[in-house]
Amino acid sequence: MKSFYITTAIDYVNGSPHLGHAYEKVLTDTIARFRRQMGDQVHFLTGVDEHGQKVQASAKKRGIPPQQFCDEVSAEFRALLPKLNITNDDFIRTTEERHKKVVRAVLQQLFDKGEIYKAEYKGFYSTRQEQFLQEKDRLPDGTWPELFGEVTEIVESNYFFKLKQYQEWLVDFLTTNENFIFPAYRQKQVLEFLKEPLNDLCISRPRERLEWGISLPFDENYVTYVWFDALLNYYSAVVDRPEIWAEAHHVIGKDILVPPHAVYWPIMLKAAGISLPKGIIAHGWWLQRGAKMSKSTGNALNPLDLVTEFGTDAFRYFLIREMNVGQDSDFTREQFLVRYNSELANKLGNLVNRTLNMTTRYTGGIVPAPEVEEELENGLRQLWEKTQAEFIPLCEGYQFHTALERVMEFLTEANAYVEKRAPFRLAKSAEPKDQALMRTSLATMAESLRLAVAMMQHVTPSTTEKINAVLGYTPGTTWRDELVWGTKLTGAKVAEALVLFPRPAPPEKAAAAPKA
Ligand code: MSP
């Protein structure tokens, strides 16, 4: 079996999880489930980033020790995972000893090799971003952009990692490995960024300025810069399992691609003599009225509210169906309801209802064998073949939204087939030909449904499971033979009904409106 290792970014614990964090988990889970269906041995890691200035400041504000603060907020991030039906194999916290041990070992190794040096540094520092700024970061009027918060000039001795000397190597690497970053246009942006000379990276913070971090193994007066610590989580979690590390793929948001994941990370690994990940998938942002959802702007939605109202699968479906991986999407309740009603309730829900209902009424709940194939059956089957042929390549290219669109188109045609074939009319006829067609149509509906939900199982796993159960069907573990049109359901006993995606309660406003 082929290994496949997939990670999410690790979230800062300075605030509660929001829709952006939930999306990244759902997207990564979709990829993990997809790879499992393809037969890969998947290892899925997620976790939290607990060190650094932001966390220290948030704990101080709450008046509790940073470790206690991290314990509380991390528990919240962790609790979100089962609510979203995330199938992670591991959850890492950067305050865990297993992680700190690896960070110290890598630092010591780089120090011993002369990749890290001490120097005096004078410069402008942004506390909010925890980074030194350069002249080119200034706005044309000489001020600093809002995102840096308060900027002060400081002089201090620090440790630096020799990033600059790897610039040419990185350009070469990215030029040779064209598909390292998805989407491809992001890789071009990284190469564009690398046209400017890199500076060495300051990887320490004096303890008097920041206490909450991993001590440098070669100088206790300093703690490790939070990004140098955090990036290593992907490696520290599997340090004893090289076969997993060899297949690493990182899912992250576009805001943390350049420079951390596309520049610091490959160079850190190269310098430490560790092999590079296979790929980076950089997704876009969920916006609200055009602005990035975030803790600091206060426009973030709580994913749990939507899960409570609509259910986990509807929430997962919306996120994956709506977002083209890499691009941004605006989140609106209206659009959520459109997808919920017109796709999940009407297209999928309808086919489920019709299949169960008619099979119960006309053949005693037993799925009949198909007997004839006429133009209508043929047409649907041909659409299936086309859908199936496109499906796996679309998912392999992270085009999950288009793959779901194809499934919906197939469901639309399956519903149209029911109307045209009209088993409810055929059932009334005593003609043997009509009876054979009626039985064929029930078999065709059930088979279409089975195939459609098989293609949704990485996105809506419990719905697929429920529908398989009411179809009296136990699926195999991979898609290899699942996604083949056939007679797997012949003779299966279906349930009478299944309630899926009920109409949501009308908004309070409408309920409270005075009667005309
Ligand atoms: N701690 C760092 C990551 C370290 S990875 C070694 C961090 N944390 S974060 O909490 O700010 O963000 C975690 C992830 O959530 C990032 O990949 C980020 O892009 C993603 N999102 C945060 N807000 C988002 C949206 N509004 N939309 C989609 N994802 C966004 O950065």
In DSSP terms, 434 is beta-bridged to none
Contact indicator for 500, 342 with CB cutoff of 8 Å: no
Atom of ligand 1 nearest to the CA of 49: 1
Atom of ligand 1 nearest to the CA of 251: 17
- Taking CA atoms only, the protein residue closest to ligand 1 atom 30 is 20
Q: How confident is the model at residue 209 (pLDDT cuts 50, 70, 90)?
A: confident
- Taking CA atoms only, the protein residue closest to ligand 1 atom 20 is 253
Ligand 1 centroid distance, CA of 257 (Å):
10
Is residue 513 over pLDDT 50?
no
Ligand 1 centroid distance, CA of 310 (Å):
24
Residue 511: what pLDDT? 42
Is residue 509 over pLDDT 60?
no
Average pLDDT score over residue span 3-20: 96
Is residue 258 over pLDDT 50?
yes
Average pLDDT score over residue span 307-314: 96
Residue 122: what pLDDT? 87
Residue 350: what pLDDT? 97
Contact indicator for 14, 55 with CB cutoff of 8 Å: yes
**Does 11 sit in the ligand 1 pocket, CB within 6 Å?**
yes
Q: How confident is the model at residue 507 (pLDDT cuts 50, 70, 90)?
A: low
Residue 282: what pLDDT? 98
Of the CA atoms within 13 Å of residue 408, those in its CB half-sphere come to 18
Ligand 1 centroid distance, CA of 252 (Å):
7
Collapse the DSSP code of 141 into the 3-class scheme (helix H, G, I; strand E, B; otherwise coil) and give the result. Answer: coil
Q: How confident is the model at residue 477 (pLDDT cuts 50, 70, 90)?
A: confident
Residue 299: what pLDDT? 85
Average pLDDT score over residue span 462-491: 95
Reported as a single tens digit per residue, the pLDDT across 234-246 is 999 999 999 999 9
Neighbours of 432 (CB within 10 A): 8
- Taking CA atoms only, the protein residue closest to ligand 1 atom 21 is 20
Q: Look up tokens 């042929």; give the residue.
A: 389
Q: How confident is the model at residue 132 (pLDDT cuts 50, 70, 90)?
A: confident
**Does 252 sit in the ligand 1 pocket, CB within 6 Å?**
yes
101's tokens: 């041990």
Residue whose CB lies within 8 A of the most ligand 1 atoms, among 93, 225, 256, for a mutation test: 256
Domains of the chain: 3-310 (3.40.50.620), 332-483 (1.10.730.10)
- Arithmetic mean of pLDDT over the chain: 95
How much of the chain, in percent, has pLDDT values that exceed 70?
98
Is residue 508 over pLDDT 90?
no
Reported as a single tens digit per residue, the pLDDT across 99-122 is 999 999 999 999 999 999 999 988
Is residue 516 over pLDDT 50?
no
- Taking CA atoms only, the protein residue closest to ligand 1 atom 9 is 11
3-state secondary structure 457-508: CCCCHHHHHHHHHHCCCCCCCCHHHHCCCCCCCCCCECCCCCCCCCCCCCCH
Ligand 1 centroid distance, CA of 338 (Å):
27
Atom of ligand 1 nearest to the CA of 48: 1
Is residue 90 over pLDDT 80?
yes
Average pLDDT score over residue span 301-305: 90
Residue 481: what pLDDT? 86
In DSSP terms, 291 is beta-bridged to 288
* Maximum CA extent, the chain: 94
Q: φ and ψ at 46, to 5 degrees?
A: -140, 175
Is residue 81 over pLDDT 90?
yes
**Does 50 sit in the ligand 1 pocket, CB within 6 Å?**
no
**Does 330 sit in the ligand 1 pocket, CB within 6 Å?**
no
Residue 40: what pLDDT? 97
3-state secondary structure 252-313: EEHHHHHHHHHHHHHHHHHHHCCCCCCEEEEECCEEECCEECCCCCCCCCCHHHHHHHHCHH
**Does 73 sit in the ligand 1 pocket, CB within 6 Å?**
no
Atom of ligand 1 nearest to the CA of 21: 15
